[in-house]
Chains A and B, each alone.
Chain A
Amino acid sequence: MVKVERYVYAVGKHLPMSHREDIKKEIRSTIEDIIEERVDGETPTEQLIDEILLELGEPREFARNYRKDANYLIGPGLYDTYKLVLKIGLILAAIGVFSLKINITPELSESYNYFGFIFRFLLEMVDEGVHVFGLVTISFFLIQWFGNARGKDFRKNQMNPAWHPSKLEAIPKSHVQIKYSRLIATIIISVLTLVIFNFFAEKIGIYYNRTGDQDSGFLQILSLDRLTDYMIFWNIELMLVMVISLYILISKRYTLFTVVAESLLSIATIVLLLTMVQDTTLINNSAISEAILSTDVSGDVETFIRNLWRIALAIIIVFMAVNLFGRGKAIFKFLK
């Protein structure tokens, strides 16, 4: 009967949230009806259950039937591909905007609005996101439209002949669903952080134009010597984060081990970040003072620059803490 539960779970994954539990309950009771009719009071064999599940067909196809009557901009046959392309597109757009903006040179002057700069950066992210979303959606809509006009049905009518009940994945022990996008984002961010801080640390800072001067200047915010000390810990930490994320991606489930490991790594990250926020020697004070002296910058901007690093870290810490709270809840669920 484990397979029946797995089958119901697999169908449920592809059902609309609103009716999921209700439909799952109905499918389960139907399968039990069929089994009961065929065994005639005896215990059903694995073979019989396989047979029945094969008759019902691949879970994804089963679930698709619940969605096929709606009018689609993008039909079920294309929808999975559409989602995948959209995700890849959005990730690439985010990386694109990020790498473009990193090279931008805000003018270091009294009147420069740094918050405005960050705001415009976020706005551009949203703007690009909307572009990608529109472009991908329109492309898929056109494929669907012309496909329909030519009588091409993108629904797979044929059952996947390779599908077999033995391929059904185990039901995750907790109710925690795997969020693939989060895991992939974690891995991408870890790789980017490792690459930037290990190989391009000397380029982190503020690029600016001196007032009345043609040459642009560069203000290195971090003291590289101090940063190296921290990087040993960061490299170990981020490597472990990547290993755990990959492990969850491959095994397709959370276990008590992975949830605890993720939580411990989150705590380690927060501790490291807190230490770095409090470490005044990590900021390249002499360079900042020098840069401030050579420009006619007011005290406000100076304070802002000195605090910029801390503000960035503080935001990450808050984010991590919220994340950790979620993990705590997951552990609680596991123990329950």
Chain B
Amino acid sequence: MTELENTIDKLNQELRRGTIVISVLSQLKEMQYGYSLVQSLNANGLRLEQNTLYPLLRRLESQNLLESHWGVDGSRPRRYYKLSDEGFQSLEILTKEWNEMVVVMDRFLNPKEGDA
């Protein structure tokens, strides 16, 4: 990997980091277990490694944004996650921030004629 590719890779990771958190929070309004979450994220076009998701879930839980419990569904025990009240509040604020950001970024990156 060249130096430039390395730099781009790093910037890309930084860019993705925040979006992954919002994406995960947005999918946990309903209770889900880790693997089903990976699948729903992938199905929506967000590729996420397993070894990134599980530690992230733990971190969000330790930040009180998620609640979790062990449940037995079918043959094996699974850990289920869901947004906590604080998680819901955070998601709401983050969604608002995100929507504003998209508008601003769009102005920067796709300037239309007539814009200053």
Contacts and interface: CB of A to CB of B under 8 A. Distances in A.
A32 interface: yes
Contacts of A55: 50
A61 B35 contact: no
A160 interface: no
Interface string A54-93: 0111000110011011000000000000000000000000
A69 B51 contact: no
Looking at chain B's contact residues, the main secondary structure is: helix
B78 A19 contact: no
Given A19-B58, A23-B58, A34 B51 contact: no
Interface string A133-166: 0000000000000000000010000000000000
Contact of A30 (B50, B52, B70): B50
For chain A, the bracket of interface size reads 20 to 34
A242 B96 CA distance: 66
Contact of A32 (B52, B54, B59, B76): B76
B51 A56 contact: yes
Nearest to B74: A36
A5 interface: no
Contacts of A23: 54, 58
B51 to A, nearest CB: 5
Contacts, number: 44
A335 to B, nearest CB: 30
Contacts of A27: 54
A29 interface: yes
A65 B52 contact: yes
18 contacts: A19-B58, A23-B54, A25-B77, A27-B54, A29-B76, A30-B50, A32-B76, A33-B78, A34-B35, A56-B50, A61-B51, A62-B51, A65-B54, A65-B55, A66-B54, A66-B58, A68-B55, A153-B10
Interface of A: 19, 22-23, 25-27, 29-30, 32-34, 55-57, 61-62, 65-66, 68-69, 153
